[in-house]
Structure 1
């Protein structure tokens, strides 16, 4: 694809270069249960959970100029520019005392992925991919009623389309490197977590 990061210019000026961190990307469509499982992983394996969406929403509420731009893009179901999200993730990792991070809902596309690796010099340990049918995800999103303005049927359909077009190439990229751990996310929460635990146990033991 021509987007391979040149290792010689990795981590150009990233403060994260001096902090040895383990990163696991958590990917899956909207409503695939990423947040629930991340909470379980945090509890059992001591990771810090960074949700790209939560960081962006917090930035929106902060009233910064970036916040307004982010709000407009999310309303349109569009993807926020990589550098904005990466800056928020970098800051969150540097401000945190932990060295093990779950990054949930990012990278959203190939450009995000290449930019993250180029800016931070970090490749994920592995990618946890929650595989779930569109019908099941839609049912969950409409049923959860968390009061999020992006949980209406129109925006949900936009989010599915963006996810399918943008995120799947990222999963394919890491899959080719043998870094994807695929989870059947349509099963009950407890069963899903049993599968998740199996992915983490070798990492936790190393």
Structure 2
């Protein structure tokens, strides 16, 4: 997003609206960052968000993760944690958070 690129602007707009960035965009960005890092082991926070993300990641990158952690907690707890993470993100507000919950629960 900081680059101001076309993808960056699109991602920023989607995040503001509480929408999920398309898998192919996220995967291409992750793949580039992984290749550029020079490492061979990765911990990716917040991805995959659903089965479609996982399948698309494996299909595009030809990488099968050793494992995926999924934390299941109530929306109330997630809301509390997001609002208290204090990262200064413009999407860390109650309206956007609740939109994200609705989008995620439909996926």
TM-score interval, normalised by the smaller of the two chains: 0.7 to 0.9
User: Could you tell me whether the CA contact under 8 Å between 1:79 and 1:108 is conserved in 2?
Assistant: no
Q: Structure 2-normalised TM-score?
A: 0.87
- Counterpart residue number, 2:10: 69
After superposition, the C-alpha distances for 1:105-149 in whole angstroms (9 at most, x for unaligned) are 112233322221111111211111122221112122223333211
Separation in structure 2 between the aligned mates of residue 139 and residue 119 of structure 1, nearest angstrom: 35
**Structure of larger gyration radius:** 1
Q: Which has the higher strand share?
A: 1
Please list every run of 5 or more consecutive structure 1 residues that lacks an aligned counterpart in the other structure.
1-59, 167-206
Match of 2:102 in 1: 161
Question: How many Å separate the matches in 1 of 2:85 and 2:101?
Answer: 17
Structure 2, unaligned stretches of length 5 or more? none
Computed over aligned residues only, the root mean square deviation of the Cα atoms, in angstroms, reads 1.6
Structure 2 residue matching 1:72: 3-state secondary structure:
helix
Tell me the equivalent position of 2:19: 78
Matched, 1:143 2:84: yes
Identify the residue that residue 134 of structure 1 maps to in structure 2. Answer: 75
Contact in 2 for aligned 1:141/1:151 (Cα 8 Å): yes
